[in-house]
Structure 1
Amino acid sequence: MAGLLAADGVEQGHLVPILLPRSVDLVVTLLAVLKLGAAYALLDPDWPRTRLDAVVEQLRPPLVVARPGAVAELSAPLWTPAEDGTGEGPARAAVAVRGSDACCVFFTSGTTGRPKGVITPHRATARLFRAGTFARFDRDTVIPLAAALPWDAFSLELWAALYHGGTCVLIGEPFLTAEALRAMVADHGVNTVWLTSSLFNLMVDEDLTALSGLSQVMIGGERLSVRHVGRFLDRFPDTALINGYGPVESTVFTTTHRITAADCARSGGIPLGRPVPGTSVFVLQGSRRCAAGEPGEICVAGDGLAHGYLGEPALTAEKFTEVDIDGERVRLYRTGDLGTRDENGTVEFRGRIDRQVKIRGNRVEPAEVERQIECLVPYVADCRVVPRWNELGGAFELVAFCVPDRTGGGALPDIPAILARHLPVYQRPVDVAFVDSFPLTGSGKLDDRALLASVPKAPVESHHGPIGDPLVHLVAEAFAAVLGSRTVPPDTSFFALGGSSLQAARACTRIGKRAGRPVPLSILYEHASAERLGSWLRSARGTDAVLPPTGDLPPTGDLPPSADLPLTCDLPLTPMELVFLTRHLTAPRDRSGYCLMTWQLHGRLDQDALEAAVAAVHERHQVLRTAFRVDPRPHAEVTDISAPPLELLDARPTVDEAVGALRRLFEEPLEPQDADLWRTALVPVTEPRGWLFGLVVHHIGFDGRSESVLARDLSDAYAGCEPRTAPPTLAERVRLTTAAIAVTDSAGRTERVREEFQDVPQIRWPEGPGPGETGTGHLDVSVPAAVTARLDARGAALGVSRFVVLLSAWADIMAEACGQRDFAVGVPVAERTAPELEQAIGCLINMVPVRLRGAAVGGGEDGIRETGRLVHRAFSRSDVPFTAVAQGVGTTTPGRPPVFQSLFALQDNAPPRLDLPGVVSAFLRQPYAALPLELHLEVWPDENSAGALDVVLSFRRDAVAEATALKLLEGFHDRLALIAAGAAS
């Protein structure tokens, strides 16, 4: 191949454009170009013709390598590799090249209206694969060759394998899908993969198991989602998850960081990490080095630096400068990214100096898109392009706002069609809106938020009638779900409806799961409407056998009918809602039903946007504006009460003092009868500089699962994301929960449960409280990941869950410490039986009593087995409301709760993470202000150590002495260690 290229004019120093798909031909051509001492530029045949022309003109090549018919004639002659791999060119010896010679050219977005060519040398790529680098690259490395061809990540995938004799696996899809990755791991032994952050998020959300079997996962290109990273690490704690950061001017990666579970709780977010080999990173203000923790511009030096920008010496001189650092003149690249560096040299990201944004991993300058629109579109006098986060798509998208030229005339042109001819897909705005003028902030800057808020919501599309074909219906449902639409016309292309490639991948995953067979992304591109893809599914062997009948596929959003339930107001209370309302009315000063949440925030917080987010969540969830009343009977009624204001408190010097200020504020009573259910507040903090954001919600409308829903919806609203599918209304929620309850012989079942707990003895704590003891005490201890793993192994060997093993150990120490072998504990159980309820805020729980006696309190294997039997029996009757049991049992001691005095919970709720653009947040779990029971034992996953557990014991000081609580906690910890040791032996 090198001989053939040389015969047609390719020489050392030439820049050769290549427009070939991922193939053996492509890799051979790259190697041949390099053997001649030339550099390659991988281009995308799907780029608009005008962009291809502009790029080839900048390269000034002797030829363009392409397959026949791939592109029309360009400014250089097209050259095609022989299909049989043969040719008449003379054999050529490899040309000697230096590490500083040009290797490849990458084109990225520029502010001038045309793409910038970045010329990088051989040493820039080779430095990534030196010994001791950030990942394992050797002859055993097997990695998909899946990145977009013009992107520098393609170099990472290709040379990570070939540089050390490893293996690349070619894919035919537009990008790597979950199904393709799973097959590659199984069929070809893929062990390493690179994913953009948005693609990583997609796989974690839609098909986490597709990431099984990998030893190394590199992610980056966009901001990382702590929630998705946390889910991955929970499932794959032993897989190396590496955050890679770097501009193309520093070739692929500048810094990397092996992510741990502890990083998910860092106040500064997941770090960018430390420099890769042959690279230096400085944080500068001007030419001055910043102290540890001081923000500045991230600047890069070393072997990874590009030569500069093709044909743009002025821009090269501006961005690649020389600075005196420690007495040495250093050439460096100014990234435009803001960051800090700690004492260990770890870099953290703090935002951008300019407007640049990443769109699906591609660097985009909004100014370039603005100039293109102004030049290409008639009647546009001025244009501003604003990025908008699309949660469903998992990426930023662009919205263009245009001021019309009043002097022009005629009909408005088809702007999307014009831009499609000139801009690559990731640079095209998803919306184009005309405005009279651009709104400004008080400081005279463009008000991006006001512009985005002015975009009208797209009308709901409809079709001519119900979809009768169940396969077409299935596809249309999946399209609607990922696009956020109510309905989808079956004959309209997914992409004409606004779908992106990542949304298409989500749709393929969902359709494949329901249809029982994989749906490659390329098939959706080929059969892009619901009708066509449904027909393809029907022709695919084995689909009909696993499809539900048409009657089992209700239209999106339909709910089980119930003529007995009202649709708007005066809804019956759930048993637990009635419990909390009764407690509020009988003990209005009790604060055990107040759920407190706090986050520590750092960065550029927009207080107005946060208050607007609170209002949006208040409007989204009916339960937050619902009055819970007893006149004339207990019922719930949705009101139009306004959202609580975001109260701004005086600054506090420390986080602890800010927490104290919030607690004092939130001591003010909530009034569920008046739909006064929640409050929010913000406290400036001096050291470290930032804020403490807090809220309190009454338990009557809130539970543990609601925490993550509330945090997610606040994040969406703050970021201006498109609304997700609306949560069920209060009436719909009642119908969903009612439909899930078994009603057969309900009266008899309730009576049998009452009989079981009628004579349960009350716990007599061994030591009474001291005189005048009040308030709530809290103790905690940690269980290491290795112990947790052995507990799980012990449970598996005995055929029980982790919950049963933990409860058995608790029953053992309770029996010993209290001197009684018969008692009950309460276990909170989520009642989110329908998928729609996972999106709801509310008190969707029941309390299930478990009576522990006999062998269950004796420890050992017999104790674990008997505890498992008792738990199974208790949970099989969890549909019996606890209130019905308690009313029939009562208590013999005034002031003591009926049935049980302690709670035992293994918490598995998703952590409530706030993801606010430009802000780093950390959730600070607060201890309970008061307890409804005398003692709570809760076991939480340790967010800072994958696999470890946090055990938190809370107790009422007026009932349980601290010495007793400490004895119980230490004894519980010791018994877990004994069970684990038995598993190990």
Structure 2
Amino acid sequence: MAVSAEPSIELDEGLHQRIARLARQRPDAPAVIAPQRRLSYGELDATADAWAAGLTAAGVGPGDQVPIILPREADLVIALLAVLKAGAAYALLDPAWPAARLREVTAMLDAPLVIASAEVDGLDLPVWTSPAPQVAAPPEFRPAELRGDAPCCVFFTSGTTGRPKGVLTPHRATARLFRPGSFLPFDEHTVIPLAAPVPWDAFSLELWGALLNGGTSVIVDGPYLNADGLRAGIERHGVTTAWLTSSLFNMVVDEDVDAFRGLRHLMIGGERLSPTHVERFLRRHPDIVLLNGYGPVESTVFATTHRIVPSDVDRPDGIPLGRPVPGTEVHVLDGDRPCAPGEIGEVCVTGAGLGLRYLGDEQLTASSFVTVRIDGRDVRAYRTGDLGTVDGNGLLHFRGRADRQVKVRGHRVEPAEIERRVEELLPVRSCRVVVDRTGTEPRLIACCVPHRAGDPLTGARSTLGEVLPGYQLPAQVVAVDAFPTTAQGKLDERALLAGSAGTAHHVPQGDTAAAAGDASTALVAGIFAEVLGRSGVPVEVPLTDLGGTSLDLGRVCARLAARLGRPVPLARLVADPTARAVAAWIDAGPPAGDDDAAEPRDVGVVPLTPIQLIYLTRHLLDPADLTSHCLVTWVVDGPLDHAALVTALAAVHARHEPLRAAYLSDPRPVARVLDIDPPPLETLPAQPSVEAAVAALRTLFSAELLIEEGDVWRAGVVEAGDVSVFGCVVHHIAFDGWSESVFARDLATAYNAARRGTALPDSPAPPSLARSHRDYLARVAASSVDEHRDRLRAELNGVPALQWPGDQPASGRSALGLVEVPIEPRVVAAVDASARAARVSRFAALLHHYVTALAEITGQDDFAVGIPVAQRHGPGSELAVGCHIALLCLRHRGTAPADGPAALRATADRFTEAFAAQDVPFQDILILNEPPGRQRPPLFQTMFAVQNNAPAILELDGARTTFVRQPYLDVPLDLHAELWPRADGGYRMTVFFRRDVVAESTARQLAECIGARLARTA
């Protein structure tokens, strides 16, 4: 049998030729997923052939640059591919651009026609519309065969002359990014949202990053990718990789950091990164590869990338830009002289990614794309205007601009272009544009000296909006008497910005939320005001007219979704961003059949999830069982106000329905929300040490929890000298690892409010039990459970029991044993390197070493391992205390090599299959493995977990607190291994084992074997 390798991406061919090959090899593979349409590779290629034949007949051919004015949809992808097949280059233009802007750029293209769905106001070009879907290309049509240096696409960017610049780039410039061994593993499993503005080179990153290796492009219906869109893409389409500008990344981290859960890779950039936001992301999602991407459009998408690690956020000079991408070299030059390491110079880019020229501007092309002599050879380079240094490790660092250029929401903006337009369009003598960086994103302020003194320039923004695209439109147009200067006679931008800050932004008048008199309008208007940082807003005025940006719309969506318990489409706010209109949409309720319909918050009885059913069954069979007791404990150094603590416990009890519910069989398993008092704060006798106090709490928390009566949790405090030890026990049926940080945050908020004598601050409410269960059911309905159930039943049938070697285990009732092994940061770094080489996640690499060590210690090549995974996918789920987890069952068969990339990928593939089946109830497959003889846990006897939950930080006024990670009281399986993150980037590995089943020598041997295997990677 002959095996043919997948052809690699060639740099000396057209992008469309690569797509045609993929269509022949994998015609049914999904290429494009749009809200109302799906295209396989075969359908995409054939339809593009038909369109290309029509374009060729209309006169399009090599040397042409064809404008495409279509919304971000499937037809847009077909159209640009058709232009390439016709031998021409495409230019994607934003339909939302003002007519004057469209006329200007189409004139620069000198195009024979424009591709659009209808006539475009003000354009004299013939409009070419798509043929009927069933039309096929005539037999005689042959797509153009192009070389890699042929023109491919035109990107328009801001120019200093007052006119936009059109950068013409070749096919090879895009293709170089997505070859094997590039900065990310782009392959047939890659699924990327297509959400960037269509004229931007990031659109190429998203589109071709998916398509050039057989992946899938998921088109986002909205102006940009917000948290709801990202979460929906991950859940519905398996999105693996995404791109966000720095501003948009910051917004999602602020508003809904759990929206990233399920991603494998996230690329960010376009502006300087915020270390604070990066740190929060890495702490919450350590297994997601976070990549900083840098590159001007003249070098096509990225020139350098850098995988961000936790230590990067502490660099005093900011997060590095990284190292060159394939086919690219980056040099830091002082004129034509290469700079020494650490010396600041201009960043210059060479290689296959460079643009061919600027349209219609030979002089600018000659000054920007220059020939420099480097290492004894003459090379063509682009002078970026960015200042940078290269450190001793070869990492590029940003050091500012050599000119005034700024980035706004990832768009390159030349203030000079805006100034020239303002002076052309408004009655002003001169204009200077300054940048206000005090808010969540940069704001452009146009400061103008009017022709007539005292002219307020009313209506200036409306006039400019007829010519300038949204990202260039100043947030304010301010009239000034004169421009302040420095002692050297130069413009004093700081003084000008300070003066404009004192000029109030004009807010149109109208009814306030209070005057409107209804709750929904008051809710929306309150969120508008919250986002804008104001005390109130008129309800009939669009958020954008109140000074809000497009990202502010996204913040409103995220906060509304959290308050309402269901997604709020970004497109809804974009269509009519007034508080009155959004409130009307809320009051109308979702359309019939809308899966996002909100449940009433006070539904008394809710069915249990499969994992909760397991916990309930275990409790009913043995009420004294301690395996579901979750402990949280803090040492409090400083005065602890017991009265405030009691008030805080009551507030948390009232806020989280799972903590005040009864879990019972009624006769079906349900949770019944109760109106019951919170547990009392039990004060235990003082102890001589912290250790003794912790032991006293463990004794208190070892008592039975009567969950069928609503006795779900308890709290206690012990004095130990100058400190107090405070803790709680919560039954696992109402709690999980993520809940620890939520519980701590809410408890601290309520405690501090009680001490200060103030009301609890307004905050989004967590979803009710009913809403959480509804979100779970929606997820199950979309996850092909029947298909995965059948596969799991076949996969897990007859899993043999693990036979533990070693000394005879202790007899009698189980006593829990514990072995701990440290994993140093350098070992973790080495594991990451091996994972990257194998194109798998850190977790998959760690899991591989666990199962391989288990096989080595037991001598078995067939067994199963349990893996807990979080299931917090619904709106607001990150705010909830509750049990939102599932258990995966991974069957390990020793059919792969013990080590190396192939072995890691084999384990990763098995985990991916298990992860895809996470919504299959365990009860559906447990019957396969009724254990013969001695009673062992069905399916698997061991569990492996890598903990990545946020730390449980209890910030109490007037005291310092330290979280104490207590050992489990008991575990349900024979052996339970976990990796807990350390502050230095390493791990603490804990191996809990039941002494009546596993000998201590065996548990220690397994822990040491895992540690040794991991250490060998370093």
**TM-score, with structure 1 as normaliser:** 0.59
Q: State the percentage of identical aligned residues.
A: 49
Residue in 2 that maps onto 1:210: 259
CA distance in structure 1 between the aligned counterparts of 2:353 and 2:182, rounded to whole angstroms: 14
Counterparts of 1:418-817 in structure 2, within 5 Å, are: 418-454=463-499, 455-456=501-502, 457-458=504-505, 463=511, 465-541=514-590, 545-546=599-600, 753=683, 756-757=685-686, 760-761=687-688
Report if the CA contact (8 A) 1:118-1:307 is conserved: yes
Aligned residues: 646
Q: Distance in 1 between matches of 2:1005 and 2:560?
A: 44
SS at match of 2:437: strand
- 1:700-746 Cα offsets, whole Å, 9 max, x none, are xxxxxxxxxxxxxxxxxxxxxxxxxxxxxxxxx99x9999799xxxx
Partner of 2:179: 130
Q: What is the rounded CA distance, in whole Å, between the counterparts of 2:266 and 2:140 in structure 1?
A: 40
Q: Is the deviation greater in 448-457 or in 530-539?
A: 448-457
In structure 1, what is the equivalent of residue 220 of structure 2?
Answer: 171
SS in 2 for 1:496: helix
Give the partner amino acid of 1:222.
E
Identify the residue that residue 299 of structure 1 maps to in structure 2. Answer: 348
Classify 1:909/1:107 alpha carbon distance in 2 versus 1 (closer, same or farther; 3 Å).
farther
Q: CA 1:355–1:822 in 2, change beyond 3 Å: closer, same or farther?
A: closer
Residue 789 of structure 2 corresponds to none
Q: CA deviation at 1:526?
A: 2.5
Q: Deviations over 1:615-672 (max 9, x none)?
A: xxxxxxxxxxxxxxxxxxxxxxxxxxxxxxxxxxxxxxxxxxxxxxxxxxxxxxxxxx
What is the CA deviation profile of residues 241-296 of structure 1, one whole-angstrom value per residue up to 9, with x for unaligned ones?
11110000000000001111121122322111100011000011111111111111
- Distance in 2 between residues matched to 1:478 and 1:310, nearest whole Å: 45
CA root-mean-square deviation: 4.5
Aligned residue number for residue 437 of structure 2? 389
Other-structure match for 1:877: none
Matched letter for residue 496 of structure 1: D
Aligned to 1:190: 239
Q: Which residue of 2 aligns with 1:945?
A: 985
1:652 equivalent in structure 2: none
Aligned to 2:98: 48
1:416 counterpart residue number: 461
Alignment of 1:327-338 (within 5 A): 327-338=376-387
Match of 2:112 among 45, 62, 65: 62
Which residue of 72, 78, 83 corresponds with 1:33? Answer: 83
Distance verdict in 2 for CA 1:534–1:823, change over 3 Å:
same
CA contact (8 A) 2:505 2:547 kept: no
Q: Is the 8 A contact 2:433 2:444 kept in 1?
A: yes
Q: What is residue 401 of structure 1 aligned with on the other side?
A: 447
Alignment-derived partner of residue 24 in structure 1: 74
Q: Residues of 2 paired with 1:548 and 1:340: CA distance?
A: 59
Matching residue of 1:678: none
| Amino acid aligned to 2:332 | V
How far apart in 1 are the matches of 2:745 and 2:600?
28
Is residue 690–residue 725 contact of structure 2 (8 Å, CA) maintained in 1? no
Distance in 1 between residues matched to 2:167 and 2:80, nearest whole Å: 17
Change (3 A) 1:523 1:295: same
CA contact (8 A) 1:285 1:296 kept: yes
Pair 1:400–1:13, CA change in 2 (3 A): same
Offset at residue 217 of structure 1 (A): 0.9
1:286 maps to 2:332: no
Consecutive unaligned residues in structure 2, runs of 5 or more = 1-50, 591-595, 604-635, 654-679, 693-700, 706-717, 728-743, 759-813, 820-949, 966-979, 990-1002, 1012-1018
Q: Which moved more, 1:443-452 or 1:128-137?
A: 443-452
What's the TM-score once normalised by structure 2's chain length?
0.57
SS state at 1:207 partner: helix
Amino acid at match of 1:314: Q
Mapped to 2, the partners of 1:413 and 1:458 lie a distance apart of 12
1:366-409: CA deviation from partner (whole Å, max 9, x where unpaired): 1110111011111x111110111253xx3211001111224x89
Other structure's SS at 1:238 match: coil
Match of 1:495, SS state, is helix
Asked if the contact 1:282–1:289 (Cα under 8 Å) also holds between the matched residues in 2, the reply is yes
The alpha-carbon deviation at position 546 of structure 1 amounts to 3.8
Aligned 8 A contact 2:952 2:963 in 1: no
2:144 aligned residue: 95
Matched position secondary structure for 2:383: strand
- Using the alignment, how far apart are the partners of 1:488 and 1:390 within structure 2? 21
> Does residue 152 in structure 1 map to residue 190 in structure 2?
no
Equivalent residues of 2:155, 2:199 under 8 A apart: yes
Shift of 1:238: 1.4
The alpha-carbon deviation at position 312 of structure 1 amounts to: 0.8
CA distance in 2, matches of 1:16, 1:841: 67
Task: Confirm or deny that 1:365 pairs with 2:411.
Answer: no
Q: Is the CA contact 2:648–2:750 (under 8 Å) kept in the aligned structure 1?
A: no
**Aligned pair in 2 of structure 1 residues 764, 533: CA closer, same or farther (>3 Å)?**
closer
Q: What whole-Å deviation, never above 9, does each CA across 1:453-478 have from its counterpart, x for those lacking one?
A: 21324488773544432222221122
Q: Residue in 1 aligned with 2:359?
A: 310
* Kept after mapping to 2: 8 A contact 1:195/1:219: yes
1:411 to 1:831, Cα distance in 2 relative to 1, 3 A: closer
CA distance in 1 between counterparts of 2:388 and 2:988 reads 31
TM-superposed CA distance for 1:331, in Å, is 1.0
CA distance in 1: counterparts of 2:283 and 2:688, whole angstroms = 40
Q: Secondary structure at the match of 1:103?
A: strand
Gaps of 5+ in 1: 550-575, 581-732, 743-748, 766-794, 800-810, 812-820, 845-858, 865-905, 912-930, 950-976
Judged with a 3 Å threshold, the aligned counterparts in structure 2 of structure 1 residues 80 and 529 are, in CA distance, closer, same or farther, namely: same
In structure 1, the residue matched to 2:167 is 118
**CA 1:411–1:130 in structure 2 vs 1: closer, same or farther (change >3 Å)?**
closer
CA contact (8 A) 2:99 2:466 kept: yes
SS of the residue corresponding to residue 208 of structure 1 reads: helix
Q: CA contact under 8 A between 2:150 and 2:170: conserved in structure 1?
A: yes
Specify the SS of the correspondent of 2:101.
Answer: helix
* 2:214 equivalent to 1:162: no
Q: Secondary structure at the match of 1:193?
A: strand
Deviation, 1:441, is 2.7
Equivalent residue of 1:505, what SS?
helix
The 8 Å contact of residues 344 and 388 in structure 2, kept in 1 or not, is answered as: yes
